[in-house]
Amino acid sequence: MNNILVTGGAGYIGSHTSKQLAREGYSAVVFDNIGKGHRWAARWAPLVEGELEDTELLRHTIRSHGVEAVIHFAASACVAESMRDPQRYFRNNVAGTISLLEAIRDTGIRYMVFSSTCATYGCPSAIPITESETQAPVNPYGESKLFVERMLHWHTHAYGLRYVSLRYFNAAGADLDGELGEDHDPETHLIPLTIQTALRQREYLEVFGTDYPTRDGTAIRDYIHVCDLAHAHVSALRYLERGGASDAFNLGTGRGISIREIIECVEEVSQRMVAVREAPRRSGDPKELVADPSKAERLLGWRPRHSDLRNIVETAWNWHRRPGSESCKTPGGFARAAEQRS
């Protein structure tokens, strides 16, 4: 397969993956509503602007570009927001994917790589987390992604669709060439929020929960460099090309990093202090999420190469402080929430 539809390809992980596809000789087309993504981030492939609910536009895009496989990123992806507005998450993430699957079925597409999440595990029984861990989400974001995974399972049985679900842990960092990075509005992810606080674009970083039963009282997550995630999607496509069976894979490093350790690393890289304000825990945030990525290495031939914490923070720091960056412009007000998004 050569022609790939990338839904949400103008977003953070989708744009990095579109660039990697172009590097490896694939011909991609990006489908995005530009609600959270950016036109400038979709420059490695033609951009079709549209909503996932527009099944007819999806069918037309697939047919006119000779699409042979789909990588599906398009979704709402903020744990705290999903707790406040679950209906939005089920509408965007579940109903939107139903429309996409209808278009896939109608046009004969046989392969799909799905952007899932470790949030489907909820509060795991053991660390590190294997793919056999019970999936019991504790927030609507994770629940919506699990619903899609279950739909894909039954589409394999009923329609012959072969898929790979990639359960990310915490995506972080920026393009190694400096051409892409995180640019969310509003920003909710911990590392860019910490960097923006170091740049004095934010008054302080609010840390939710300092009394977890962890080594320093703050939540622990497994941070994976976005370029490693991009490589994983290409590896998943090749796995399906080789005849690989439908399956799910964790994408992480197997190393847990606390919020305090992130702050310390940003301070070291930036040579600036990060002002912190402590706040109570929030519902929907497990204390620790760390991957066992050995299955992806064994079956996909993938392992993280750029995901040491120092490299993650340095690439993100260079992206956020580059001349002319939107990130270098001080926001009108100080945002305060630090998401531990998975």
How many secondary structure helices (H) and strands (E) does the chain include? 11, 14
103: nearest Cα among 173, 53, 174, 157: 53
3-state helix vs strand vs coil in the chain, percent to 5: 40, 20, 40
Question: Of residues 26, 89, 111, 141, which has the active-site annotation?
Answer: 141
Token pair, residue 74, equals: 């398009």
139: nearest Cα among 197, 93, 198, 191: 93
105-136: burial string, b at 16+ Cβ within 10 Å, e else? eebebebbbbbbbbbbbbebeebbbebebebe
206 DSSP β-pair partners: 277
Strands (E), 257-305: 257-258, 276-279, 288-289
- Measured between alpha carbons, how far is 269 from 310 in angstroms, rounded to an integer? 8
- Measured between alpha carbons, how far is 53 from 288 in angstroms, rounded to an integer? 35
Query: Which amino acid, one-letter code, is at 46?
Result: P
28 DSSP β-pair partners: 4
**β-bridge pairing 220-221 and 257-258:** antiparallel
Reply yes or no on whether 204 is catalytic.
no
Residue 100 burial (C-beta neighbours within 10 Å; 0-12, 13-18, 19+): buried
Token pair, residue 55, equals: 């099944």
- Measured between alpha carbons, how far is 138 from 123 in angstroms, rounded to an integer? 7
Active-site amino acid positions: 141
